[in-house]
Each structure stands twice: as C-alpha cells, then as structure tokens.
Amino acid sequence: MDTWTEWTEDPALAARAGVGYSVFGKSSTVMTTAARPRLRPGRVYRTRDLARWSANAPRLARRLVREGALVPLAYGLFAHPRRSRFGVVPPGDEELMRAFLGGSPFVFTGPDRWNALGLGSTAVFAAPLVYNTKRSGTFELGGRRFLLRRVAFPRNPPREWFVVDLLEHAEGAGASRPDLAAALGRAVARRAFDRVRLHAMAREYGTLATQALVESALAAGAA
C-alpha cells in the first residue's frame, strides 16, 4: 500500500488491497472503516480523483464536505483547505486551473504579464486571462472569475511570446500599437529581449500586422 492509499468504503477494493481485520476472532480481508484519504492542503480535487479511495467517489466527496475536509468550489471541484495562523488560505490560480482543465496545458497571460514587459502597457482586466487547449468562456471558480480562451501557445512561453501576445491585444490592453512598437525597438536596442526568439515567436504566433511591427522594432533596435 503506498502512502496515498488508506481505507476504502468498497469491500472489493479493500480485499484487493489486502487489508485485514478481525471480527469475533475470525480474520477477514475486508475493512469497513470509512475512507480517510490523505489530502494535500491547498490541493484542488475533481470528484473522479477520489475514486482512488472509494468506488463511490460522489458519496465520499459529500461526506468529506460535511466533515470540512473538502470545500466545494464549482464544476465538480473541491479544495482541501490549507490553514495559516490567519485562517484558511484559498488555492492558487494555477492550482485551480490545473484541476479545472484536467492537467491539460494552459498559460496565464494578460495585463499582469504584459505590464511587466516594460513597454508602457498599464492594462487592467477584471479577470485573469488563461489560454488553454480545452475551453473558452468566463468561469467562476472558488469565487474568482477567469477568462479562458482556446488558442495556440507555446508550452513554456518565453518573455518574447508575451510581447507578441501584447501586440496582438494592444487595443484591448488600451495601448497604441505604434507606441508599443517604438518602445519595443528601444528595448531591443538595450537587449531586453532576444532578437532571434522574438522574430520566431512573431512568425509562429503573430498576425501579419504583428509580424510587421516586430520587424520594424527589430530594425529600429539594430540602428
């Protein structure tokens, strides 16, 4: 039995796990004790994740909610509370997305990442922007809203990809594309971004208009 497997509500599973106990001096391989899964504080679980401890995962989820071991979020997601001296700490955005998207690839983008590029963007969105391979729309998880878009993106986006993403969404970010291109040219001149990688990201993920802006910025940065 590994460190994550404990008692099960299902006799057949218990028997396969080789769990034994004694009743009136007779040995049995069935443990009837209610499942007590070892849940990680701050971790978000889907109902199906609980199947490792019970053949009836929904029933186990309901019991753990009643006991306070799980907090329901939305869309069949539950958080195991992480507590600090200040109280319960909600799960992080990355953890929520990991569980909600079932472990499929995703990347957080939007104002926080764009503004950090130092190109003059000061955008503010009401909800984090998340690119992924499964869903599009606005979703509320644990009292927080997320804007999901199903679009192409690199698995481990470099800073240069976020530059291209900003240029693609300049209007929504409240920024002028010419101003951004001029700021990018100055940033390229001081080697704030990798020229080859910036060119490659624009070619793969940018529109023709964005590619033209990047090319002009690269030319200005080389002057």
Q: What is the pLDDT of residues 20-58, one digit of tens each?
A: 333 334 433 333 345 688 899 999 999 999 999 999 999
How many CB atoms are located within 10 Å of the residue 85 CB?
A: 4
pLDDT in tens, 91-122: 999 999 999 999 999 999 999 999 999 998 88
The sign one gets for the Cα dihedral 196, 201, 203, 208 is negative
Phi-psi region of 118 (alpha: psi -120 to 50; beta: other; left: phi over 0): left
How many CB atoms are located within 10 Å of the residue 186 CB?
A: 14
Cα 100 to chain centroid, rounded: 8
Please give the average per-residue pLDDT across 191-217, as a whole number. Answer: 96
In the chain, domain spans: 11-89, 103-223
Per-residue pLDDT at 144 exceeds 60: yes
Structure confidence at residue 51 (pLDDT): 92
The sign one gets for the Cα dihedral 155, 157, 161, 165 is positive
- Report if pTM > 0.85: no
Per-residue pLDDT at 188 exceeds 90: yes
Average pLDDT, the chain: 85
Please give the average per-residue pLDDT across 67-83, as a whole number. Answer: 93
Question: For 50, which DSSP code?
Answer: G
**Residues 105, 132 contacting (CB under 8 angstroms):** yes
Q: Which of 8-12, 49-53, 63-67 has the lowest mean pLDDT?
A: 8-12
